[in-house]
Structure 1
Amino acid sequence: MMVEGDTELQGAAADDPYDAIVLAGGRGSRLGLVDKATLDVGDGPLLAGVLEAVAAARHVVVVGPPRDLPAHIHQVREEPVFGGPAAAVVTGLHALPTESGADGAAPWTIVLGCDLPLARQAVPLLLATRRGEGCVLADGEGHAQWVAGVYSTSALVAAAESLGDATDRPLRALLGRLSTRALAAPGRVGDDVDTWDQVSEWNDYFIDGEDADESSADDEPEERSANE
């Protein structure tokens, strides 16, 4: 569904730069407090696959505990620790450059959870469909995946300022302030990992060879307002 507006609805150029915020600081409560980012799903740890997916980003911020990551990746801890996903996004946003220019803030910011096994397919799809204030993927049940989205950086900054204290606030309280579209992603591109059963399902998925480029479907993904 198109969001009403005027020039805000212009599509982004294919080569418009973007920054990336990766959330990797959750408790893993449904996984027995195991660090979800380190779980091997498919061909390696979940976080490694997500970072590979955003390798072309101008700046990459990982929000979570310190890890052995490449030096160019900026690592920060959400404030307060375990303060919730909205607080983590705001912390990541504050870690990005604020000035514009060739090495400054990019016009777009991708926000991803560390638990997206098909991040390599999700990112190109998001970049190809970004316009307005942003787009998010919908999972297999049609739910907007706020941490599988691309957002106008200026709109994201404005939303964070409008929200104020993000501690213990849900993602929708922050990202729902933007006029975004939810894309019905092909296959399981928008699905994540939350439980051990899902870890097993995903590994079976990859073993069965079902990890083809599901974002290459001929038809454009169905769109609706993410705020519905």
Structure 2
Amino acid sequence: MPSGAVPVGGVPSDPASFDAVLLAGGRARRLGGADKPAAKVGGRALIEWVAAAASGASRTIVVGPPRDVVPGAVRVREDPPAAGPVPALRAGLAEVRAPWVALLAADLPFLRPVHIAALLHAAGERDGAVLVDAEGREQWLAGCWRTSRLRDALAAYTGSSLRGVLGPLGPAEVALPAGERPPWYDCDTPEDLARADGLARRDVL
């Protein structure tokens, strides 16, 4: 476990009220331009896995092209389309009403509600919390943030990287105990998808 990281534990009894912003745009070049969030893993679209992980959200905002796989979601589009994660965050954050927001990639098939709850719990009095992988690298598209502080940071930011806008907020780092499916596992290539599909199908057998 990376030094200083908070381990993922049980779900807190009083998780904070939050909305979820799912970034589901992008060009998916390494998947030949396919609609990555709609790709199936374990018989379920990637974006459906992520929406289920954020099922405790007051509202779910999907940023990307129109899709019908997340019933009840607020659908918005970054301007211009596929402009990158910072414009997508701006578009999604404009629809957030809750005091906390979960900012999530739409291609995380092993993200679960316990991970979202652990992020909210770890944030405590800080401005956010982010998952870190086994090497201690922050996974900026798997985090929870205090909405007001994120809005302020984004309003003052002129760059193009999520690290640039989120890093200065000083988030708590949340690590995963060894042996679990990594919730930060994303599906950027056909090989990633095939491996995730195999793992997901094994889990439901």
Q: TM-score, normalised by structure 2?
A: 0.84
The amino acid that maps onto 1:173 is G
Once superposed, what is the RMSD of the aligned Cα atoms? 2.0
Equivalent residue for 2:108, pick from 111, 116, 129: 116
Q: Please, which of 189, 195, 207 is the counterpart of residue 201 of structure 2?
A: 207
Q: How does 1:65-104 map to 2 (within 5 A)?
A: 65-69=65-69, 72-96=72-96
1:225 alignment counterpart = none
- Once residues 205 and 92 of structure 1 are traced to their aligned partners in structure 2, the CA distance between those partners, rounded to angstroms, is 31
The one-character-per-residue Cα deviations of 1:107-136 (angstroms, maximum 9, x if unpaired) are 110000001111224323323322211111
Aligned runs of 1:34-183 on 2, under 5 Å?
34-69=34-69, 72-96=72-96, 105-120=97-112, 121-131=114-124, 132-164=126-158, 169-183=160-174
How far is 1:181 from its partner? 2.0
Partners of 2:13 and 2:149 in 1: CA distance: 18
8 A contact 1:140–1:191 mirrored in 2 = no
SS in 2 for 1:129: helix
Cα deviation, residue 64, structure 1: 0.1
Is contact 2:110–2:183 with CA below 8 Å preserved after alignment? yes
- 1:122–1:190: 8 Å Cα contact kept in structure 2? no
Change (3 A) 1:67 1:200: same
Q: Distance in 1 between matches of 2:149 and 2:162?
A: 15
Using the alignment, how far apart are the partners of 2:39 and 2:145 within structure 1?
27
Q: Take 1:106 and 1:95, find their aligned partners in 2: how far apart are those partners?
A: 10
Task: Name the amino acid aligned to 1:119.
Answer: L
Deviation by residue 1:3-57 (Cα, 9 ceiling, x = unmatched): xxxxxxxxx9823210110000011111111111011112400001111121221
Percent of pairs identical after alignment? 36
Change in Cα spacing, 1:69 to 1:203, as seen in structure 2 (3 Å) is closer
Aligned to 1:217: none
For 1:163, what is the secondary structure of its paired residue?
coil
Contact 1:137 1:145 in 2 (8 A): yes
1:26 aligns with 2:40: no
Q: Distance in 2 between matches of 1:133 and 1:205?
A: 34
Larger radius of gyration: 1
Deviates further, 120-129 or 44-53: 120-129
CA contact (8 A) 1:122 1:148 kept: no
Of residues 145-154 and 124-133 in structure 1, the stretch that sits farther from structure 2 once superposed is 124-133
Q: Does the 8 Å CA contact 2:15/2:120 hold for their aligned counterparts? A: no
Q: State the distance in 2 between where 1:16 and 1:122 align.
A: 13
